[in-house]
Structures are given as C-alpha cells and as structure tokens.
Amino acid sequence: MTKALIIGGGIGGPVAAMALQRAGIEPVVYEAYDRPADYAGLFLNIASNGLDALRAIDIDVAGRADGFPIPRLVMWSGTGKRLGEVANGVRLADGTVSMCVRRGLLQRVLREEAQGIAFEYGKRLESYTVTAGGVEARFADGTRAAGDILIGADGSHSRTRQILAPVSPEPSFTGLVSVGGYSHSASLAPTTNTQHLVFGKRAFFGYLVRESGEIYWFANLYYPDEPTRQSLAGVSVSEWKRRLTELFADDMPLIREIIDGTTGEIGAYPVHDIPTSPVWHRGPVALLGDAVHATSPNAGQGAALACEDAVVLAKCLRDLPDTASAFAAYERLRRARVEKVVAYSRRLGNAKTAGPVARFFRDLMMPLALKIFANEKAHAWMYTHHIDWNEKVGSA
C-alpha cells in the first residue's frame, strides 16, 4: 500500500489524510505543535463549498464543533449608517449555508473523524530528501519517517514549499493585521444568522452575538509595514484594548463596548496571501491549502479551498496510474480556481483600508455595490463548486 507522509495537522492535512485513506493510501499526519490545540485560535467561516467538499468524503461538520450558520452579512458605515446586506455565500440546493466555527474545535472534529489515522505531534518538518523508494522526512526532534509520497499541508509559511521550490516568492503581506477575540455584553441582543460588518473611519470591524450572549469579534487594521508575529504577540490584552478603542473612537459606540468586554486573549495575525506559486509539486512531493495558495480571510475561503484541494488530490492519486500524472492532474484541476479566489479575496480587503476620500465614495456607492454583490449568480462559481467523489479523474 502507498504510504503518504502528510506534513501539517491544521485543516487541509487531516482532510487529505481521510480522503487518501478512502483512496486506498496509508496516511500519517505529522504536526509541529506538541499536542492537539482543541481550544486554540479564533473562529472562522467555512464556506458552503468547503462543507460540500467535506461531504464528498462523508464528513459532516454542520452542527458539530459548536458551529452555527451565518447566512447573512449586514454592512454598516462607522457612523452607523446601514449600507445594506448580502448573503454570506450562496445557499446550496440541499440548504447548506456558510458556517462559523472555532478553529480549535473544528480541528478536534476533523481529528475525531480521522478514525484509525495516525497523528504524530511535536514533529516539525526540517527537511526531506527524495530517495530511490520515495521520500524521507527529517524532523526537528531528530526523528525520520519514510514514505512513498509527501504532502505539504503546513500552512502559509510552509517548510515543505521552501524545500520543494527554494526560489518561490514568500507569502505577500496584504497590509492588514487581523485582531479578534470573544466578548460579552448585557446590552446587545443575539444577531441570529447574521454577522455585522462595519467600515469604520480607521479600521474594519466584524461581530456577531450568539444566543448565549457570547460575542465573536474581529478587526482588520491597516499596517503600512509588515509587523512580525512576535511583535504582535508581545502586545498585552490591555494594550490592544487601548489601541483599538482609540482606532474606533469615531465609530459606533457598540464597537468600543464589545472590545472593552473582551474576556480572555486577543489574537493578532498579519494577513498574507500567495497570489501564485510557480511549483505545486515535484517528484513524490505536492503542496496543498495555504502552503501553495494562502488566501486572505476577506472572502472566508481559505479553509474551504484546503478541503477541496485535499479531496481532489486524493481522487487524482486514486484514479491515475502514477504519482507524476496524478500530481499534474491535481494542479490542472485546482490552480485556476484557487488563484481566482485569492485575487478576489485581496480585492475585498482593499476596500477595508480606504482613505478619507475613498471612504466617502465607498459609503456612497456601497448600497449599489451591495445590490450587485447580492446577485447570487455572480458568486456561484465560488460557493457552489461541487466535487463528486465517485466521478473518475481523466489524465488529460
């Protein structure tokens, strides 16, 4: 049986492992963190196409991972003018809509689904070499593992990509830092099925209130120069509250109330994307998810694309006679789609960082733009993309 070394136990890695197992390949997942991070990270939107890709291999996360549907987005100007509303993606024929989940809980559900698949923690890939029989991975703890193929699902700063294609451009900073956390407020009513998005004077803010009163919030801040992750991690919660309160001083008061009521950590992440990667695979090694096409979170598509990649890659390896033709087919089936999504998501992000003049026109034109955006057909290519597990992949 072919053995696949999967580097990265985030989202794409576990899904690839399950899809490969179905395709008759033996997967082992190697994750750099030393233990599962079930409660770590903030929340994310899994778009309907991602939920559909998971269902292609009989994984249903709806109603699990404490997830809940968010079919509707309502836009506001910072001054409190309602700019309009749009659907959060496109409702699929079976009623599926995009869902919000905590990242750590999603990872736990994926791991629970991956029955019988080995996950090894504390295994940070340092290097690999192609051998006569396949590939050998070497980890930072000094251990090694041998397999027939290696799949790099190790995120936007992928070590696998650096080895596979040393001259590949590094992920590009989008000018945004995403900050977020969980809050409580006695005065805000639940925003059932709805996320609110506010184009503030100096920064962008998003929030939703659950039936329990818990608030999920995030802010996108404009940074002309890229900050390091370490410098962001060094900012204390009270300092973030101070900075954010200042940034949103001229916007709707509820933003400051939400920030002030934050309990626990405030996470901060520089937002990168990879518009195009020259090399997707070489020999027995291929990349998937953020490792090959990191996308900014604006379109809420990164997780969905990683799931789609994983399922398509497994189908290609199942149906084509050798690794070379399978990886070539995988790139052929995926590249144009993912690059289109990355570019689209980057454009959405640019609207968040408008200066005073652009902001004036944005607020003026937004209601019209939202009407155009509300045309579901315009976005069907992204949200209704369907992968049929049983359909055979051809070689050309």
Ligand X SMILES: Cc1cc2nc3c(=O)[nH]c(=O)nc-3n(C[C@H](O)[C@H](O)[C@H](O)COP(=O)(O)OP(=O)(O)OC[C@H]3O[C@@H](n4cnc5c(N)ncnc54)[C@H](O)[C@@H]3O)c2cc1C
One DSSP character per residue, 141-190 reads TS-EEEESEEEE---TT-HHHHHH-TTSPPPEEEEEEEEEEEEE-SSPPP
Binding mask 203-222 for ligand X (x = CB under 6 A): --------------------
Tally of CA atoms within 13 A in the half-sphere of 155 that contains its CB: 13
Cβ atoms of 281 and 161 within 8 Å: the answer is no
298 binds ligand X (CB under 6 A): no
9 binds ligand X (CB under 6 A): yes
Q: How far is the CB of 254 from ligand X (least distance, A)?
A: 21
Cβ atoms of 15 and 110 within 8 Å: the answer is yes
Which strands form 203-209's sheet, in the order they lie side by side?
Answer: 82-87, 72-77, 194-199, 203-209, 214-222, 172-184, 262-273
Going by their DSSP bridges, the two strands 3-7 and 26-31 should be labelled as parallel
Beta-bridge partner residues of 5: 28, 150
Q: How far is the CB of 93 from ligand X (least distance, A)?
A: 21
CA distances from 241 to 19, 248, 336 (A): 42, 11, 41
Nearer to ligand X, 123 or 385 (CB): 123
Q: How far is the CB of 347 from ligand X (least distance, A)?
A: 16
Binding mask 256-295 for ligand X (x = CB under 6 A): -------------x-x-----------------xxx----
Angle between helices 376-383 and 356-373 in degrees, nearest 10 = 90
CA distances from 344 to 202, 233, 300, 337 (A): 22, 29, 11, 11
Q: How far is the CB of 240 from ligand X (least distance, A)?
A: 14
Which listed range, 24-32, 234-242, 279-287, 375-383, lies at the site for ligand X (CB under 6 A)? 24-32
DSSP 3-state of 35: coil
8 binds ligand X (CB under 6 A): yes
Which listed range, 153-161, 184-192, 241-249, 257-265, lies at the site for ligand X (CB under 6 A)? 153-161
Beta-bridge partner residues of 267: 180
Q: How far apart are CA 324 and CA 156, in angstroms?
A: 24
Residue carrying the six token digits 């369907």 = 386
Q: How far is the CB of 206 from ligand X (least distance, A)?
A: 10
20 binds ligand X (CB under 6 A): no
Q: How far is the CB of 200 from ligand X (least distance, A)?
A: 18
Beta-bridge partner residues of 312: none
Binding mask 67-106 for ligand X (x = CB under 6 A): ----------------------------------------
Binding mask 355-384 for ligand X (x = CB under 6 A): ------------------------------
Q: How far is the CB of 6 from ligand X (least distance, A)?
A: 9
Q: How far is the CB of 187 from ligand X (least distance, A)?
A: 26
52 binds ligand X (CB under 6 A): no
Q: How far is the CB of 387 from ligand X (least distance, A)?
A: 16
21 binds ligand X (CB under 6 A): no
Residue carrying the six token digits 């905590």 = 102
Angle between helices 48-56 and 302-319 in degrees, nearest 10 = 30
Number of Cβ within 10 Å of residue 14's Cβ equals: 30
Residue carrying the six token digits 């990265």 = 8
Nearer to ligand X, 215 or 359 (CB): 215
301 binds ligand X (CB under 6 A): yes
297 binds ligand X (CB under 6 A): yes
| Chain contacts with ligand X (rule: CB under 6 A) | 7-13, 30-33, 44-45, 123-125, 153-155, 159, 178, 269, 271, 289-291, 297, 300-304, 306
